[in-house]
Copies of this chain bind each other. A is one copy, B any other.
Amino acid sequence: MTGTMYLIGTGPGDPELLTLKAARLLAKVPVIAYPATENQGAMALEIARRHINPNAKLIPVSLPMRLDRAPAQAAYDIGARAIQLQLDAGCDVAYLCEGDPLFYGSAMYLLDRIDAPVAVVPGITSLTAAAAAIVRPLAARNETLKILPAPLPDERLKAELGTTPAAAIIKVGRHFDRIRGLLEATGHAQNAVVVEFATGQNQRITKLSDFAHDTRPYFSIILCSAGEEAWSKS
């Protein structure tokens, strides 16, 4: 009997934002796999650690922090092989995913390489966590809400931002200055808020207009949600 592969969302940072289902599964699954990078360590593991069966076997999937894809592909190959061995031996395996496994997660690259029954436990995303931190709706009524990765080209971002009252910019990092300019150009800058490390111990909330010009936010999301009426008047 092949084991089941669980993709488990650990939520954005606060260990109390795991779901009851995630906590129950982590307490009993005998094998826990998790992504680990040189720079950032193993954030999903840190979030979930207190709930993990102390006798569980741990399998780190060591991911290179580089933009080219070949080394990452090789890392997923190696990780998937170690996980498949456990599944083939009849053990269930949980793969920990920061936030939600299917919201811009990398778990699918692993899943593509696994041959086993799969179940996904959704997690709290950084999106809703950031909104909770600033107590402001992401979107309401019949507003569109766009999730926009910062690496997209300027023209694309400008077009998307220009036609929505509500947006969330993810993967900001080194694109911060460029994004700030685009938000200014599309009427979003005034109400935009930068949320770093949402719900984590280092959580920091800064209005975009107050964000220092020579710095860059970390593990951040920028929320733009003026509300349809306020925005259309801007």
Known: A144-B149, A144-B160. A138 touches B103 (CB 8 A): yes
Segment of A121-129, A187-195, A201-209 engaged in the interface with chain B: A121-129
- Of A23, A100, A105, most buried by chain B (CB within 10 Å of CB) is A100
B146–A102 touching, CB < 8 Å:
no
Cα(A108)–Cα(B119), bound, Å: 33
A102–B138 touching, CB < 8 Å:
yes
Cα(A208)–Cα(B121), bound, Å: 24
Cα(A36)–Cα(B142), bound, Å: 21
Cα(A137)–Cα(B112), bound, Å: 12
Cα(A141)–Cα(B72), bound, Å: 13
A131–B152 touching, CB < 8 Å:
no
Copies of this protein, total: 2
Q: Of residues 141 to 169 in A, which have CB atoms within 8 Å of B's CB atoms?
A: 141-149, 151-152, 156, 159-160, 163
Interface residues on chain A, number (Cβ under 8 Å): 57
Known: A102-B138, A132-B102. A19 touches B122 (CB 8 A): no
When each residue 87-121 of chain A gets 1 if its CB lies under 8 Å from chain B and 0 otherwise, what string results? 00000000000001111110010010000001111
A100–B120 touching, CB < 8 Å:
no
Checking B135, B147, B199 against A144 with a beta-carbon cut-off of 8 angstroms, the contacting residue is B147
Known: A9-B128, A151-B142. A137 touches B102 (CB 8 A): yes
Closest to A118 in B: B135
Contact of A178 with B by CB under 8 A? no
A103–B131 touching, CB < 8 Å:
yes
Cα(A101)–Cα(B143), bound, Å: 16
Give me the interface of A with B, judged by CB distance under 8 Å: 9, 11, 14-21, 23-24, 100-105, 108, 111, 118-125, 127-129, 131-133, 135-149, 151-152, 156, 159-160, 163, 171, 199
